[in-house]
């Protein structure tokens, strides 16, 4: 909550305004054999508090550090942080002793912002190392009319957005158009990680029968995360970047942008979208 000066017509008034909370979250990883455990801080991301464990799990999965929920022994907020007010801003993930961790993936110390995600990471070569595979030709299809209904459905469920107007969302739909999950965060990449992490912790990845819709624009990192989770159709109300389109086309993902009102653009793999027959 902040006191703001608001221009209303020709008059200026002082009024309280609700703000989206943005705080850092540090993700720590515990790994190695029982007799020689190691701990490393692998990410600091600016996020909206809430569903932190899902965010951490989703980040580890989309970065290729873990493959299955059974590899995680324990996940929770770190209680041994000296400053009590910072405990809710640190999540520690303990891996099972037999899990092998690639030191190369931990050498990059990630600092992610709420605006762009992992800054400077644009190498498409990294996708093979985290397990992204080219989608096979399949019979997955969804009617265009269902896609058009998704933005309004998500907006109606965005409780934080209704009060602040300053938060992103990722929604996960099945092919019947049911909204299965919705996560909000000040960072669009965090909202995606929360959705993927929630399913990862339930053991329901890959999401090969799902459609994801993101608020805002689509960049490389969101496509990479969706590819890692096996999502065949990724949509956004905003524009995709050139690298996002290139990546989607290379891996056979259906990429939809400018999904708003009664229109959208398909940038790759259009055969997954079914259009009504033209009326004669």
In b/e form, how buried is each residue of 256-273, taking b as 16+ CB within 10 angstroms? bbbbeeeebebbbbeebb
Q: Whose structure tokens read 């524009």?
A: 239
| Chain centroid to CA 138 | 24
Active-site annotation holder among 78, 116, 132, 214: 116
Q: What is the 3-state secondary structure (H, E, C) of 157-215?
A: HCHHHHHHCCCEEEEEEECCCCEEEEEEECCHHHHHHHHHHHHHHHCCCCCCCEEEEEC
DSSP 273: E
Q: Which two tokens stand for residue 17?
A: 């305004």
Active site residue 214: no
Tell me if residue 73 falls in helix, strand or coil: strand
Q: Which residues are catalytic?
A: 116
């Amino acid at each position: 909550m902040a006191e703001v000066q608001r221009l209303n017509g020709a008059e200026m008034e002082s009024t309280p305004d609700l703000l989206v909370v943005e705080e850092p979250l540090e993700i720590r990883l515990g790994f190695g054999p029982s007799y020689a455990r190691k701990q490393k801080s692998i990410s600091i991301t600016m996020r909206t508090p809430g569903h932190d464990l899902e965010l951490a799990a989703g980040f580890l999965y989309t970065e290729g550090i873990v493959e299955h929920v059974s590899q995680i022994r324990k996940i929770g907020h770190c209680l041994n942080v000296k400053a009590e007010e910072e405990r809710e801003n640190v999540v520690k993930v303990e891996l099972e002793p037999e899990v092998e961790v690639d030191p190369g993936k931990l050498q990059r110390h990630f600092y992610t912002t709420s605006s762009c995600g992992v800054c400077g990471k644009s190498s498409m070569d990294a996708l093979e190392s985290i397990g992204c595979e080219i989608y096979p030709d399949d019979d997955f299809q969804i009617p265009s009319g269902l896609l058009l209904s998704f933005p309004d459905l998500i907006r109606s469920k965005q409780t934080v957005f209704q009060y602040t107007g300053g938060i992103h969302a990722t929604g996960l739909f099945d092919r019947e158009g049911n909204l299965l999950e919705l996560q909000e965060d000040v960072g669009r990449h965090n909202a995606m990680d929360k959705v993927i992490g929630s399913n990862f912790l339930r053991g329901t990845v890959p999401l090969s029968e799902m459609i994801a819709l993101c608020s805002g624009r689509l960049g490389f990192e969101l496509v990479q995360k969706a590819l890692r989770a096996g999502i065949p159709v990724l949509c956004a109300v905003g524009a995709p970047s050139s690298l996002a389109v290139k990546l989607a086309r290379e891996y056979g993902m259906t990429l939809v942008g400018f999904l708003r009102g009664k229109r959208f653009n398909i940038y790759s793999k259009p055969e997954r979208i079914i259009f009504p027959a033209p009326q004669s």
